[in-house]
Amino acid sequence: MSAESVDQNNDGDYVKHYSGSYNPLSQQVRDMSFSEPLPPGAKQRIENEVEADQDLTPEYIAHPEVLDYSMDDERIVLEEIKDGKTVEKYLEESEPSEAGEIGNMLGHLIADMHLFGSHGDPTLENFIYRDGDIISIDHEFYSGETREKDLRDDIRIIEEKTRSLETEKYLEFMENFREGYLSELEDVEDETALENEYPEFNSMEKAIIPAEGLSRILSQKDEWREILQKSGSLVKNSL
């Protein structure tokens, strides 16, 4: 969570605080590089969280409900998520086959979200695995618009954040992520009503472009596993 501080109230719900001296430029050092645009300020982050709650609820994408917020106090209260692990933690402890299952689930979830918006900060810490479901959290960078760059950035971030996994897990996760993503888009494409509801749907597949190089790697997975095990740096150079 990238708020200035996070507490829990008496009900166990999470309370994010943003100090009055909140400095977007200072936050940029923690969140992004200077090559990226300045991150949103406190009030915009709260607005993004509220917008995400309003968008994700009717789409049945699991997320913590916004229970209360105050622009004046620069504070937002979010529903507590119990008995779950971050996807990052789960992947660290999982077998490659389990990593593949999580990748497929996350691919479906991100594709669903990309029909009407982008997460903005889809690090593996910002998804919770619980009882066979993935919960999307921390929507401070959420956008309710389907800008192609934002959609592609979501996928780029997910790819980058999984490269630290051991090679076999990484390959299984990303292969299944891609399959889940494309499968979800194909399912929606068959629903004419949904295609009409989302006029930008026809451009959604462009969000996969950053993964095209990866798909070529995965098509020769057995050969690349041997190569990647010899040189971890080759992963970065080839994607």
**E strands of the chain, at which residues?**
5-8, 14-17, 66-70, 75-78, 85-86, 127-130, 133-136
In a domain, residue 176? The reply is: yes
Q: Do residue 105 and residue 184 come from a single domain?
A: yes
In a domain, residue 223? The reply is: yes
In a domain, residue 217? The reply is: yes
Q: Do residue 60 and residue 33 come from a single domain?
A: yes
Residue 59 is predicted with a pLDDT of: 87
Residue 102 is predicted with a pLDDT of: 97
In a domain, residue 164? The reply is: yes
Residue 198 has pLDDT above 60, yes or no: no
- The predicted-structure confidence for 44-69, as pLDDT tens digits, reads as follows 999 999 999 999 999 889 999 998 88
Residue 74 is predicted with a pLDDT of: 86
* Length reported for the chain: 239
Residue 72 has pLDDT above 80, yes or no: yes
Residue 41 has pLDDT above 90, yes or no: no
> What's the chain's average pLDDT?
76
Q: Do residue 71 and residue 96 come from a single domain?
A: no
Residue 75 is predicted with a pLDDT of: 87
Q: Do residue 189 and residue 121 come from a single domain?
A: yes
Q: Do residue 99 and residue 158 come from a single domain?
A: yes
pTM of the model: 0.71
Residue 204 is predicted with a pLDDT of: 42
Residue 201 has pLDDT above 70, yes or no: no
Least trusted range by pLDDT, from 18-27, 28-37, 203-212: 203-212
Residue 36: how many other CB atoms lie within 10 Å? 10
Residue 13 has pLDDT above 90, yes or no: no
- Contact by Cβ (8 Å): 102, 87: yes
Residue 220 has pLDDT above 60, yes or no: no
**CATH number of the domain that 215 lies in?**
1.10.510.10
Report how many domains make up the chain. 2
Q: Do residue 150 and residue 103 come from a single domain?
A: yes
In a domain, residue 239? The reply is: no
Return the ∠ at Cα 217 (arms to 201 and 121), rounded to 5°. 50
Domain ranges, residue 46: 5-78
In the predicted model, what is the mean pLDDT of residues 216-223? Answer: 47
Q: Sorting pLDDT into bands at 50, 70 and 90, what band is 226?
A: low
Q: Do residue 74 and residue 90 come from a single domain?
A: no
In a domain, residue 188? The reply is: yes
Q: Pick the last residue of a domain from 61, 78, 95.
A: 78
Residue 117 has pLDDT above 90, yes or no: yes
Q: Do residue 144 and residue 219 come from a single domain?
A: yes
Q: Do residue 155 and residue 71 come from a single domain?
A: no
**CATH number of the domain that 55 lies in?**
3.30.200
Helix axes 221-230, 167-189, angle to 10 degrees: 140
Residue 174 has pLDDT above 90, yes or no: yes
In a domain, residue 37? The reply is: yes
Q: Which of 8-12, 148-152, 188-192, 206-210 has the highest mean pLDDT?
A: 148-152
Least trusted range by pLDDT, from 57-61, 81-85, 92-96, 110-114: 81-85
Residue 57 is predicted with a pLDDT of: 92
